[in-house]
Structure 1
Amino acid sequence: MILVTGSTGLLGSHVVVELLHKGYEVRAMYRDPIRKEVVFRLIEFYYPSEKETLLQKLKWFQGNVLDLVDVQNSLIGVSKVVHCAALVSFHRRDFNSLFKVNRRGTANMVNFALDSNVNQFVHVSSTAAIGSDSQYKDGLKRESNLWNPNDEVSGYSLSKFSAEKEVWRASEEGLPVSVVNPSVMFGPGSWEESSLQIFRTLNKGLSYYTKGSNSFVDVRDVTKLILKLIETEKTGHRYLVTGSNLSFKQLFDQICKQLQVKAPSKLAGPFLTTLAWRLSGILGRIQGTRPTITKESARSSHSDSKFSNEKLLKDFPDFEFTKLEDTIDVTIKGRME
């Protein structure tokens, strides 16, 4: 039995479906019953003729990684864990919640896994947990980068870095662990959530872009690596899972081309984005809603972040990343309202 936490998120739902398709029995940990529909719809999207067969191997478990009793019970009879559950936010007001869910929740999972029969713990981290200090001079961030405490980072980045520290601490205590660090993920799912909001925003119309860059990857590729780690039982390693390093302008142009909408054409400099997050914050307070742009998200939109996937490709030479145009295509076709 394989336990998947965060089973109704973009990555977690894909991991559940692909594990089922590979013949594994899966216990899917979730919080909101309404969210279970995501897994059902993914099965219908990828394997409609196998729906009934796949669902026979799926066991649902309602629980919270912050509840010690839930965590303990979720691990009964489990041999492997894929820990996808996490909070993603760039709002300063969520700083404490980020550390509760991402660090404390992860600590709970590995602590109880140490006292159970778990023989592999796959932790889903993020490129946000990769440090900036490197021995290389090519500008690419790697798994070997060291964390620089003087860097100005988001609360999310700090919480994911701290969560990894819990995982590696558990590794020292005897838990076989694997860590994956995906970049910004795209794939079938709701455009109202996570990184897929980029598609929603561009589809509605966006005039401005920034000079920043990042790495983008197909959620199916991240899922593929997780399954490879499980099948090979490879532990003790950390892998960046990054497909294409692109500027935001390049990404927006490609997405808009396939959406058949006008691409952003006006460059927004630091002054304009600073003004935008301040106005967004004021409007949010007036309306009682969360601002759409935060100080941290505005800053990251100007940062030039590029990552290397050479370690992954060296250890798994048969691994192939999906072309970005195919990723965009399936993200559009797999949109969930």
Structure 2
Amino acid sequence: MNYRIAVVDIGTYSTRLLISAVHIKPTLEETLNSIEDVFSVGRITALGRKLKETGYLQEEAINEVLSTLKEYVLIAKEYGVEEIIGYATQACREAKNGTELLEKVKQLGIDVKLITGEEEAYLSFLATAYGVKPEKDFVVIDQGGGSTEFVYGEKNSKYSLKASVSFPFGIVSLTERFIKSDPPKKEELEHMREFIVEKLSKIKDFGKAHQFIGLGGTITTLVALENHIFPYVSSKVHGKVLKRDSIKKWLEKLSSMRIEDRKAIPVIEDKRAEVIISGIVIFDTALDFFGKDSITVSDWGLRHGAVIKRVMERFND
């Protein structure tokens, strides 16, 4: 028996939909390995815009997210999904009116849940374990718009989550806090780097992991830039390895450009051009701090982790 499930990720920076086909097999492991993407789409909705400044989600951003979700619900119905589940993350955790948005989302027929940073980290762990299948212990860096999760996973007879932390900073909040110039000044980026290092000092032990794996739109965009992948094709990005030197090269090149010049690069979405520098600084700083020469890039993220989690729940029902 097969069924389809839709997962919506309401992030600080983007709103994404994944429709997956699950093929029921005799064992959980076989079933998890049978999951396949049917349809995937994302739109930059910048829900977290001006959140740090005001404490509230902006009405324009809320309406943009709701309009996007209405489209996603129609798409999901066209694909004959059995259920539509949703997850909201840092922007809704932080905003004083976050629960108001979730009530409106529920009215669209989406079973939405506001998750903690730890729950977000767990979904990233599941997506990486089953999407990348690391051979040894690993650290996931899941960089988002409002938060960044660092997840330490182990591989023995099966995968297990050893430790995780969710830092309340991402590409939107870092950009708003540190970058005041266009192009950004070197001292602005250095202040951002110092801020990130201060946070990472709490998880020095994560550097013991054999493999580092990156998630999020910034790192997948860098793979596309480095390998001349346009239009974007998930299968050409997923599993690619980026050298630390390549990340530094793109940081230097893109941070020397004005936003309008970055927007002119076809691989970089218009809105992402405004914040991509902060995302690159996160990965560059982390690899430097932990002394790693490369990072494996995954196109699987929270949505895939949510599908895996749901399948596990159904098997245990």
Normalised by the length of structure 1, the TM-score is 0.29
Normalised by the length of structure 2, the TM-score is 0.30
Q: Which has the larger share of strand?
A: 2
Larger Rg belongs to:
1
